[in-house]
Structure 1
Amino acid sequence: MDQSFDCWLQNRVDLLKNKGLYRTLHTMNSSPGPEVNVNGENKIVFSSNNYLGLANDNRVKNAASQVAHEFGVGSSGSRLTTGNTKWHARLEERIAQFKQTEAALLFSNGYLANIGVLSSLPEEGDVILSDAFNHASIIDGCRLSKARTIVYKHVDLIDLEQKLMETQKADRRFIVTDGVFSMDGDIAPLDSIMQLAKKYSAYVIVDDAHGTGILGEFGRGTCEYLQVKPDVMIGTLSKAVGTEGGFVAGSKELIDFLINQSRTFIFQTSLPPSVCAASCQSLEVIVQGKQLRNALVTNIWAVTEGLTKIGYRMKGTNTPIIPLIIGDSYKAVKFSQMLHEKGIFAPAIRPPTVPKGESRIRITVTAEHTIEEINQLVDACELIGNELSVIR
């Protein structure tokens, strides 16, 4: 074939452009907050996962700064070589206390945590039952597993039970689900899933990236909210906690196994100690006070109520993720561009991140948004929605 390497790649990119699926990067020129300088212009941001505003909290930043001066800016190696410090151990102890488990293990991000668990824990002869709307990191972890993966319909307990009945000859079954689904904002029915798991002798793995810090009396997440304790709890520090890194929480035996078998733990460079210190401080803020979570709940209600009144069809349940389903990819991009012109940053979400025909504006709310900023969002969505004929 005579086609050059770059021409081949350009043709593939052109196909994405023709389908309305082309993506570009935006540069954030200021610290995380409800208003950020995006590509040189100040915008109200309704697309951040910094749900509690802790990414720019002075207490958290000071904790990071102090330890950075003491330990430097990098960890210098994997946890099994030179990258293990007292701050890694402290954070793991703090996460275990927070999640109310025997132990916890840090990963450099939540993506690696999901892949590390799913590629090492289930074996050949096992079956993984995965929710259809699970995060890409779960999907990729399942692909790397030696177990057979079966996808069940999104939060469909009847379909899940049917597949549990059909796979009873498997050596082991693992049900894996998000706690809060990142693109739809709905909550997995973990209480019912746990009942099915007990009935059919299956194990349950929950990725609570978007529930940690948000749900439950103390912000411990979806499992606290629904009062369940799965076999494996996976999470991230990069959403409500406001820092960086992923983790797995569970029994001491689980953590010991992952230290020895999880390739994404063994071969990763560990988190900087300063990030671990910041995370410890952030978790302390979350546990000790409900003010931020209460402010977030108020803002979630205000956005949801405002958009419902003007006729939008939305997904999501009591979480900061509020998707406006637009449908067509081109129209979703146009909607996002028009929001941008009105001073609001909320990128369009398109396939393959979401199913074909369900392109959307994924609005996320934080505790820091003011009622004036929320009203500006609702007003803009009403004007744009009418102009593009997407309000139903």
Structure 2
Amino acid sequence: MNRPPLLSRLARASGDRARDALLRRLRTITDVEGSHVVVDGKRLLNFASNDYLGLAQHPAVVEALVGAARRWGVGASAAHLLGGHREEHDLLERELAAWCGRDRAALFSTGYMANLGIMQALLDPRAVCIQDKLNHVCLIDGARLSGARLRRYVHADVDSARRQLDSDPAAAALLATDGVFSMDGDIAPLQALARLCREQQATLVVDDAHGLGVLGADGSGSVADAGLGQADVPVYMATLGKALGVAGAFVAGSEALVDGLIQFARTHVYTTAMPPALAAATRVAVRLARDEAWRREKLARLITQFRAGATRRGIALAESRTPIQPVLVGKSDEATRLSAQLEAAGFFVPAIRPPTVAENGARLRVTLSAAHEEADVDALLAALGASWATPG
């Protein structure tokens, strides 16, 4: 017997990435202060965070976490169905459902696990799953693990999605899309996709990880921003670790959906519930995100400022009205060079390279936050402009 050694294969694959300058490396943050982080002993202005509303360090959120930890301890100690579902979880689920205009919500430990649970509970090998080609990998993995036939449509192209649905008209169908795409920052054509799903009797799933808290008049996300509701988008997922500044995720929809997930979503049934103290902190973050509209207003001003300044300097940006502002570079080594030059100038803006994005699609993923000030954005633009003009 001569089986191939798996660890050696993994080492070779890592070596291939290193050779192609695509190896990912962990950077340890040793301190956080507002919009600044300390990396390798250097204090850097952070433009890589998904803390879009600046809530991760909000004193009221921190105090809620600490106070609830004193009451409940630091862990739930069991899965939801086995005694891990505490009062804080129940209250948070009710508040999230009300905020998003849904009947009920169910908490999950991460967005990745929420999407795996959705797909595994709703799909089987007889079904077809239609997905945008730029969807987050957890949606793709969820479809593959479900055994359903996975078909992908051209990014944000509703006609392409229609063709994929038409190719299998007798199968039960689920169409899944990000609300806001994590690497491009653009928003899915949700109204058109909802019409298509009604016509095709397909179930529409929206992953709103990067829309919740940012879009909509009260921050309730991309679906609300598009003027749609539960009848249009029956399955709504969002994470709690982006604009809300905490951690975890939820799925919201009808009573039947949530009951079904509690019964059949393995990533809910067989996972320890999130810490009750974290749920308590999230309830405070929800209220701040919903009620303090000035955070979204400030964020919108910073986005406009950044885009106008980049245009004046000839810096190529993807089309986006969200806090995700990709600086389009192309080659991986050039993106790495720009990131290093920005770090030397005092800014933390990691390069995003294949396979996270397409070949020749390397970029700097600039993310803006209500924690930033106009002077911070001006300083980044000046440094980016100087680096952009410097030959590699």
Q: Which moved more, 1:32-41 or 1:52-61?
A: 32-41
Structure 1 counterpart SS, 2:197:
helix
- 1:47 aligns to what? 48
The aligned counterpart of 2:74 is 73
Moved more, 369-378 or 87-96: 369-378
| Letter of the 1:287 counterpart | R
- 2:295 aligned with 1:289: no
Distance 1:75 1:101 in 2: 26
Cα drift, residue 57 of structure 1? 0.3
Q: Secondary structure at the match of 1:206?
A: strand
Partner of 2:352: 349
Structure 2 contact 342–383 (Cα < 8 Å) conserved: yes
Shift in Å, 1:39 = 2.3
State the distance in 1 between where 2:98 and 2:203 align.
22
Aligned residues: 388
Which of 334, 337, 361 matches 1:334?
Answer: 337
In structure 2, how many angstroms separate the alpha carbons of the residues matched to 1:10 and 1:181?
A: 31
8 Å Cα contact 2:211/2:222 also seen in 1: yes
Where does residue 221 of structure 2 map in the other structure? 221
Q: For 1:146 and 1:206, how far apart are their aligned partners in 2?
A: 20
> How is 1:27-106 mapped onto 2 (pairs within 5 angstroms)?
27-31=28-32, 33-106=34-107
What are the superposed Cα offsets for residues 307-343 of structure 1, whole Å, 9 maximum, x if unpaired? 1111122114210000011111111111111111110
Structure 2: gaps (5+ residues)? none
Within 1, Cα distance between the matches of 2:19 and 2:252? Answer: 44
Structure 1 residue 292, shift from structure 2 partner: 0.7
Alignment of 1:271-282 (within 5 A): 271-282=274-285
Give 1:165 shift.
1.9
Tell me whether 1:379 sits opposite 2:382 in the alignment.
yes
Indicate the RMSD between aligned Cα atoms, in angstroms: 1.5
- Structure 1 pair 82–206 and aligned structure 2 pair: CA distance change class (3 A): same
**2: CA distance between counterparts of 1:219 and 1:176?**
21
Q: 1:50, 1:240 within 8 Å by CA — same for their partners in 2?
A: yes
Does the 8 Å CA contact 1:315/1:324 hold for their aligned counterparts?
yes
> Match for 1:151: what amino acid?
R
What displacement does 1:11 show? Answer: 2.7
TM-score, scaled to structure 2: 0.96
Aligned to 1:203: 203
Task: State the partner residue of 1:183.
Answer: 183
Q: What is the one-letter code of the residue matched to 1:311? A: G
2:273 match: 270
Kindly provide the amino acid, as one letter, of the partner of residue 359 in structure 1. A
TM-score, normalised to structure 1, is 0.96
Give the match for residue 310 of structure 2.
Answer: 307
Cα separation, 2, equivalents of 1:114 and 1:232: 10
Q: CA deviation at 1:388?
A: 3.3
The answer to whether the 8 A contact 1:32-1:50 is kept is: no
How far 1:115 moved relative to its partner?
Answer: 0.7
Q: Secondary structure at the match of 1:29?
A: strand
**SS of residue matched to 2:280:** helix
Q: Would you say the 8 A contact 2:316–2:329 is kept in 1?
A: no
Q: Which amino acid aligns with 1:213?
A: G
Counting aligned pairs with the same residue, the percent is 36
